[in-house]
Chains A and B, each alone.
Chain A
């Protein structure tokens, strides 16, 4: 079987994979990207709308533009890209200690093995679907996730239906409301189970209000009707958390798009023995973004679902530079714990160290204006950061400099806790 030897193998050639690979290659290490699709770019290629790159490039770009800027840099680099290739299995072979082995299947390269001292997981995420949320009723055609519809419309040029209802007011659902309208369809409603929209407000304006598409907050789709093709849905309001069935109403449609959440795609990781954190559905990582397997790092949506691709690029560069340090045997720094305090859903990574500036990504559980992110150690506040507005759907990125941490270096067992108040 053909074997290729690299210093670093990056699984996934989307935003995360490309940024991480460039960082490693820049330091002079032999790097490979293994990508399932026929070109680099990942999900960005179907996100033809703008809103990307304000942090990374200081301009507002569309998804394909953002992706291509990175893909161009990859082309100019020495990174070896295996397209049309799927990693089927990853393990640590006993006869090659200190190496990771990836079994890859490709219609172009056949079945081959990549051996590398470091691996960066950048496989992205998948969408939750009807089966996960269990909408009762029939099982006709015309039901799909918003992402699949986006792929069909933007890449393949097919329109799945004309009378659309969308479940979920996350950004993907909102963007598709606009996209389908601009593709000549009629979007009848967006149905949201929470009492507030999950997507950013900008999208409520430019995707719903602009087209007078009604948003039903605190409503659920309680039944799907239609034998071979969907014909209508039953929408039920939630009153005090319970379905108010008396006030259900029917909406006729021929297409139902689901935008009900994203889940990191970690089957490969799990099978390889990587410990997963059920709070984020991604690997447990230390302050170097390294998983429980030495030399295996994770970044991007496979680690935790992001909402800004700019943060993905920053996080992935971090994973890349830590992989470099690992290859240079320079990855030092004892790891200490950091945990979620009040109103914080999760923090990534779950560890910090004293040797570097530490960057954390967290999600709030509350919606609040004039909020304060408070970092405590042993009950002592060591830093506070003001935020004019926090909400669950907007990830917060904070930095703890080495200088900030100096204050607690005297503690025998320093533990950090981050809260939002």
Chain B
């Protein structure tokens, strides 16, 4: 078994090769440890960091500018097959200011240990 991947852990994008060597997965082409982790995970349980926005509806009177949407991100990559339901839950959020950059909006999503945090401050 041989699989080619392009690492997405950072913008460099090392070209990785994953092979099975007697039951063990071996990665080559990576410049750092993250690439090795990425290739193995991509093969067995692919994950992605998710960024999206949720509703906040902050008025100009509150902080000098109007903010309709709060940008958010997952603190760690989440399993690809959980992304659709995660997005649904993010879009269902309706925040109220004040919200600070880094505030946890969804804690320990589905028991994954991954949070969804605000990436901007409002109010």
Enumerate chain A interface residues (CB-CB to B < 8 A). Answer: 38-39, 45, 48-51, 54, 60-65, 68, 83, 153-157, 182, 200-202, 204-206, 210, 308
Contact = CB atoms under 8 A, between A and B. Distances in A.
Contact of A62 (B48, B71, B80, B87): B71
A253 B12 CA distance: 33
Nearest to B49: A50
A83 B64 contact: yes
3 residue pairs, one from A and one from B, having the closest CB atoms: A48-B71, A38-B65, A201-B13
Contacts of A63: 71
Given A48-B71, A48-B119, A62-B73, A204 B52 contact: no
A65 B13 contact: no
A277 B81 CA distance: 49
From B5, B53, B80, B101, residue with most partner A Cβ within 10 Å = B53
Nearest to A51: B11
B17 interface: no
A155 B68 contact: yes
Contacts, number: 75
B1 interface: no
A39 B64 contact: yes
Contact of B53 (A38, A54, A83, A154): A154
A63 B52 CA distance: 12
B30 interface: no
A45 B121 CA distance: 11
A182 B86 CA distance: 10
A65 B53 CA distance: 14
Contacts of B48: 206, 210
Contacts of A154: 53, 69, 71
B10 interface: yes
Given A48-B53, A210-B48, A210-B80, A157 B68 contact: yes
Nearest to A69: B101
A156 B73 contact: no
A182 B73 contact: no
A48 B51 contact: yes
A152 to B, nearest CB: 10
B65 A39 contact: yes
Contact of B55 (A38, A157, A202, A204): A157
A414 B25 CA distance: 55
Contacts of B101: 64-65, 68
Nearest to B71: A48
B96 interface: no
A202 B71 contact: no
A202 B73 CA distance: 18
A106 B3 CA distance: 57
Nearest to B60: A38
B107 interface: no
Given A50-B73, A64-B120, A65-B101, A38 B66 contact: yes
